[in-house]
Amino acid sequence: MYCTEFCHFCRMAEALLRNRGVEDIEKIYVAADQESRTEMIEKTGRRTVPQIFIGETHVGGFDDLAELDKQGELEKLLAG
């Protein structure tokens, strides 16, 4: 998950993932690391955080993650 230290949506995404049983969340902080920010933009086409990946699948931001969860698709993705 690409994130920043003080991002409310990043914390909400982490909490949702933990509530779904994810124990290991790799966080890549982009606020002070231009190389990581550039990598995030190149991989996702987006400039906002969080940008969440589950495996190699780009989920998107918190709203995208929450929508997947609402549709019951998040658990399937996590199980795969």
18 contact partners, CB below 8 Å, separation of at least 6: 25
Per the prediction, the chain carries an average pLDDT of 97
Q: Across residues 40-57, what is the average pLDDT? A: 97
Domain boundaries, the chain: 2-79
With 0.85 as the threshold, say if the pTM is over it. yes
- Locate 17 and state its tokens: 């993932």
For 1-32, write each residue's pLDDT tens digit: 999 999 999 999 999 999 999 999 999 999 99
The residue count of the chain comes to 80
Contact 16, 67 (CB under 8 A): no
* CATH topology (fold) of 2-79: Glutaredoxin (3.40.30)
For 34: left if phi > 0, alpha if psi spans -120 to 50, otherwise beta; the answer is alpha
Looking at residue 6, its amino acid is F
